[in-house]
């Protein structure tokens, strides 16, 4: 290693040193064990746990804490004044929150924004860079979750995604808002809430408990693991909303079928029983039932979906991704397209609602089991219905007879 030509020391700064391979660390270790007197190494990293112990033991360690929002705000104002660029108050808050205590990330975001508009940075500029939409809609979404209105909440997130809001950014912004709400309920005043959220959070602290906000945070955190697996970006957020709202949606009295309607449907869907059979005394011996044909299962499932849509919309969104596979000895096997639908339906409360609904339709007690079936055909009910209509169509029957002759 050559000595410096002018100064007494030669400084080597290695940024993000945790990204070095094992072989590179071993090569660096030889230099650190016997460094030249004129050489100085500065190893910078944000993940010190990934540095191998032999390298760490040969360094003097200095930990730098993240900057708070006030320091980042001073830095941003200082740079913007020197660069003679105007930044709106809300855009400044968005940039500071996105930096999460890192001056480097803040300045990097500022540099990207200046390439788009070197004179003025607006909310729209930062929204385009971060992939976020109008953050004023986040309090409205949380308000719907507090009211346990899953239908409106799911509609809201789809509107936000359609307007350009990134799904992952929407999840992160929702978690950030819920964190501020939780801290406000607990009474933590050291954390300053952004101005765009302040009024709504003040109102919502009177409407919701800390335990409910904690459940919302857990649901949104759990949704993160499904983003790479879900076929639609909105699906993990929709599952989180269903989990948060649960079954708290009150059924509309007008949507409930009357007693007479129930009796008519049960009589229509169950086979007629002879008078002699009705007189037979009940016994405790198990009743042997013939396996229901797939055609009958599809008709039953179509009725289940129809009833559940008006009875419990949250559960209906999960059942849309499920289909019946078999029914033997009073055991109904239901296939689920994805694992999180199986987990949701296996909850005792949700499973009980489905069992009660099937009993309401058929008059029979059934046991339900669920399994994941990735190749599940979700449109099988519609295809079966079309096939049945085609078979009963007189024109199709005439065509068959014509070709048969």
CA distance 256 to 374: 34
Q: What is the 3-state secondary structure (H, E, C) of the chain?
A: CCCCCCCCCEEEEECCHHHCCHHHHHHHHHHHHCCCCCEEEEECCCCHHHCCHHHHCCCCCCCCCCCCHHHHHHHHHHHHHHHCCEECHHHHHHHHHHHCCCHHHHHHHHHHHHHHCCCEECHHHHHHHHCCCCCCHHHHHHHHHHCCCHHHHHHHHHHHHHCCCCHHHHHHHHHHHHHHHHHHHHCCCCCCCCHHHHHHHHHHCCCCCHHHHHHHHHHHHHHHHHCCCCCCCCHHHHHHHHHHHCCCCCCCHHHCCCHHHHHHHHHHHCCCCCHHHHHCCCCCCCCCCCCCCHHHHHHHHHHHHHHHHHHCHHHHHHHCCEEEEEEECCEEEEEECCHHHHHHHCCHHHHHHHHHHHHHHHCCCCEEEEEECCCCCCCHHHHHHHHHHHHHCHHHHHHHHHHHC
Residue with tokens 């004023």: 136
- The CATH classification number of 69-130 equals 1.10.8.60
Could you read off the pLDDT of 99-123 as tens digits, one per residue?
888 888 888 988 888 888 888 888 7
CA distance 171 to 182: 16
Give the Cα-Cα-Cα angle 35, 40, 42 (nearest 5 degrees). 120
Q: Which residue has the higher pLDDT, 392 or 138?
A: 138
Structure tokens at 344: 């949701």
Structure tokens at 173: 């912004």
Q: Which residue has the higher pLDDT, 230 or 248?
A: 230
Q: Does domain 253-268+290-383 have CATH number 1.10.3720.10?
A: no
Could you read off the pLDDT of 32-56 as tens digits, one per residue?
888 888 888 999 998 888 888 888 8
| C-beta of residue 140 within 8 angstroms of C-beta of residue 156 | yes
pLDDT at 154: 92
pLDDT score of 279 more than 50: no
pLDDT score of 262 more than 50: no
CA distance 307 to 313: 10
- pTM metric for this prediction: 0.46
**Which residues does residue 315 pair with via DSSP β-bridges, in sequence order?**
none
Q: Which option is the CATH number for 137-245: 3.40.109.10, 3.50.50.60, 3.40.190.10, 1.20.272.10?
A: 1.20.272.10
Could you read off the pLDDT of 304-339 as tens digits, one per residue?
888 888 888 888 888 888 888 888 767 888 888 888
Hey, how many other C-beta atoms are within 10 angstroms of the C-beta on 241? 28
pLDDT at 124: 79
CA-based nearest residue to 106, from 118, 92, 89: 92
Domain ranges of the chain: 10-56, 69-130, 137-245, 253-268+290-383
pLDDT bin (cut points 50, 70, 90) of residue 30 is confident
What is the pLDDT averaged over residues 220-249? 84
């Amino acid at each position: 290693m050559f000595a410096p030509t002018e100064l007494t020391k030669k400084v080597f700064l290695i940024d993000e040193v945790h990204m070095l391979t094992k072989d590179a660390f071993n090569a660096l270790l030889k230099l650190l064990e016997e460094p030249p007197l004129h050489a100085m190494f500065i190893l910078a990293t944000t993940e010190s746990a990934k540095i191998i112990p032999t390298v760490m033991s040969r360094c003097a360690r200095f930990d730098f804490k993240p900057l708070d929002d006030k320091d980042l705000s001073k830095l941003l104002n200082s740079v913007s004044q020197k660069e003679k660029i105007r930044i709106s108050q809300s855009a400044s808050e968005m940039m500071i929150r996105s930096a999460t205590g890192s001056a480097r990330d803040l300045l990097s975001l500022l540099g990207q924004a200046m390439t788009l508009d070197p004179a003025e940075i607006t909310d729209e500029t930062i929204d385009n860079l971060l992939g976020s939409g109008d953050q004023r809609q986040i309090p409205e979404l949380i308000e719907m979750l507090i009211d346990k209105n899953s239908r409106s909440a799911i509609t809201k997130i789809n509107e936000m995604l359609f307007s350009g809001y990134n799904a992952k950014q929407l999840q992160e912004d929702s978690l950030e808002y819920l964190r501020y709400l939780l801290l406000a309920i607990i009474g933590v005043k050291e954390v300053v809430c952004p101005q765009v959220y302040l009024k709504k959070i003040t109102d919502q602290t009177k409407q919701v408990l800390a335990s409910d906000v904690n459940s919302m945070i857990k649901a949104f955190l759990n949704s993160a693991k499904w983003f790479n697996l879900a076929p639609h970006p909105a699906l993990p957020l929709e599952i989180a909303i269903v989990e948060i709202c649960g079954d708290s949606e009150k059924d509309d009295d007008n949507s409930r079928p009357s007693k007479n309607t129930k009796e008519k449907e049960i009589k229509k869907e169950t086979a007629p029983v002879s008078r002699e059979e009705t007189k037979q005394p009940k016994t405790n011996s198990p009743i042997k039932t013939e396996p229901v044909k797939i055609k009958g299962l599809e008709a039953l499932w179509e009725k289940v979906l129809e009833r559940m849509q008006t009875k419990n919309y949250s559960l209906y969104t999960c059942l849309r991704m499920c289909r019946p596979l078999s029914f033997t000895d009073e055991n109904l096997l239901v296939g689920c397209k994805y694992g999180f639908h199986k987990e949701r339906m296996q909850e005792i409360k949700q499973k009980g609602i489905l069992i009660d609904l099937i009993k309401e339709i058929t008059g029979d007690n059934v046991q339900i089991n669920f399994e994941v079936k990735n190749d599940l055909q979700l449109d099988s009910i519609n295809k079966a219905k079309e096939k049945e209509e085609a078979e009963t169509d007189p024109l199709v029957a005439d065509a068959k007879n014509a070709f048969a002759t």
